A and B are shown apart, each in its own frame.
Chain A
């Protein structure tokens, strides 16, 4: 019964692509670093004519960039890696895009390809056969994984959830400043879990679920914003128990925290 249904669906899909669906791009100029439906279409179309061999994941990374440039070179377009009007028109003309097939595979998390001249039913591996289904991807800042960001968001939320946004960015920046400082551990986890470094770690508040604000603050800090002015310590003057911390040269105060060298 199930097999019948699958065959039926696949037959429909084949008919669908035969019908020659030409779903067009939106009118943005797509460039490296972009994410979203336009990028999915771009990758699928480039794969259809054999320029792109990576995963169709909706993130305009380096391999997509080279595929675009090779395409532009082969078709006599200006080679700039930007997908503007002329590149789009050319691409739509020489390739096909089966949006329903591609979107469905991504939604289901199947491993799949979208090459032309080959029935699509042969280009997908079902979830059941394939346990590592990693179709979608995200942009991450250089040198950091999403898990690193999550761990930092946990720390920032545990330490500074009541603080203004900028204070949260500053706490995240302090963690990063410590990673870069030779007097501290060289990893994000090392800095966060250093015994006695953060109260939220010592009392377990780090394991509260962080909100979106904390995550945004971490991303800003990683991307280069440092409201702390290069601080490697901070403390709350109302609750600080160590007298030593007052001897550090202070840089500025944000919310309840004083940031210092």
Chain B
């Protein structure tokens, strides 16, 4: 009796302990994961900030006027400070990493000093310009190394907790990719655009701006299906399901899912309820091997736009990803490009069909009735840009500037060293509205 009782108590105790141990283990794992996530964030933030830093310094090199240079330098200062704080959060205290921190501090100081100075009275000296160029080069080196470490971290699923443990244990054979990578970064010092979406990206307020062009009477679901049928050139054998948007949507819209039983693929489409304007389309069919180039795809895209009454559009940008071409078209009114009126398209390079369409920017842009006359001539505007820039192309364009107004500008494309820049000079008052460093290719990392 007593024995059975004791066994009962003991086994209860064992079960209790096991449960407690299990809970402890789980909690420990959760805490570890949480710490790991914080390290990961600091690290990926750091690489992004260094990207951005490199980009912004590059942009300042091509600027000319105080009104754009001062804010840009202030931006560099802010990013350098952020990157500095990200470095500080990484468990690298046991690693000699002071050169990189020093670089970031120097960068911050330099940009701060020049940003608060009245550059009209005291423009950048030749030496300061050289410093800027050197910092640009340094930032490029650090960026490259960090990107490479980042690539390896992502590819091999490396854990910062392991780095911390390795550093704490002070093992002699520290064969750790992260540690080695950071050592290279450090050695190099001894010797990205604020996710800028380009001129067609019409600022963040636009996300919540109404689709002002979508005028017209509300259409029924049946009418919406008919619109989809003509827009996508459907045969009529497809199964279409349709739902209306919820209360959170600024403009009511229909979401259509079109299932083609023949190919067993789905096409998705959103359409405004008022007037039935297609907002976007994605066709998720598998794309076979490439049979045509971007140029042919562009012609197909333009044909499609013309068929659907989008007139005066011209190609602004084309990019190939594997066997898909991404094309951006903008309005061209009498030789003036209107960047806010942009339409994006995805063309399959196997048979040239349109597999993606997005008119959100176009539909939410304001209607510009008449393009104003410029007060400045091209050569007057050209005199406003940095004399170091070699101008290769020029045209007139309307962009949405930082304060969300449509302004007529002279657009200049030019090169400085190996980099290409796009510069917008206000055609009325000569202000430097926007300076962008253009980059769209990236070397493949991790093949060391």
Tell me if A28 and B247 are in contact (CB < 8 A).
no
Q: 4 closest A-B pairs (Cβ-Cβ)?
A: A28-B293, A249-B248, A189-B44, A193-B41
Other-chain residue from A31, A137, A261 in contact with B293 (beta carbon distance below 8 A)? A31
- Interface size, chain A (Cβ < 8 Å): 85
A89 at the interface (CB under 8 A from B): no
User: Contact mask B290-305 → A, CB, 8 Å, 1/0?
Assistant: 1011111010000000
Residues of B within 8 A of A227 (CB): 255, 268, 270, 280, 282
In whole angstroms, how far apart are the Cα atoms of A142 and B55 in the complex?
11
A116 at the interface (CB under 8 A from B): no
Tell me if A188 and B44 are in contact (CB < 8 A).
yes
* B window 409-430: CB within 8 A of A: 415, 418, 420
Nearest-Cβ distance from residue A44 to partner chain B, whole angstroms: 17
A166 at the interface (CB under 8 A from B): yes
| Segment at the A interface, from B366-374, B379-387, B434-442 | B434-442
- Nearest CB to that of B200 among chain A residues? A224
Show the binding face of B for A, using Cβ within 8 Å: 33-34, 37-38, 40-41, 43-45, 47-49, 51, 144, 147, 150-151, 154, 157, 192-198, 204, 207-208, 243, 245-250, 253, 255, 257, 266, 268, 270, 280, 282, 284, 290, 292-296, 298, 317-321, 325-326, 344, 346, 356, 358, 360-361, 392, 415, 418, 420, 438-445, 447-448
In whole angstroms, how far apart are the Cα atoms of A185 and B444 in the complex?
28
Show the binding face of A for B, using Cβ within 8 Å: 28-36, 38, 54-55, 57, 59, 61-63, 66, 69, 82, 84, 109, 131-134, 136-148, 150-151, 154, 164-166, 169, 177, 179-182, 186-190, 192-195, 201-204, 207, 209, 219-220, 223-227, 229-231, 248-254, 260-261
Tell me if B293 and A29 are in contact (CB < 8 A).
yes
Tell me if A193 and B268 are in contact (CB < 8 A).
no
Known contacts A33-B318, A204-B33; A248 and B294 CB within 8 A of each other: no
In whole angstroms, how far apart are the Cα atoms of A155 and B41 in the complex?
13
Known contacts A30-B293, A142-B193, A179-B195; A62 and B438 CB within 8 A of each other: yes
Residues of B within 8 A of A254 (CB): 255
- Nearest CB to that of B327 among chain A residues? A33
Tell me if A33 and B319 are in contact (CB < 8 A).
yes
Known contacts A31-B318, A220-B356, A251-B249; A143 and B193 CB within 8 A of each other: yes
Q: Give 9 A-B contacts (CB < 8 Å), ordered by A residue.
A: A30-B293, A55-B443, A61-B440, A140-B441, A151-B44, A226-B280, A227-B268, A252-B243, A260-B248
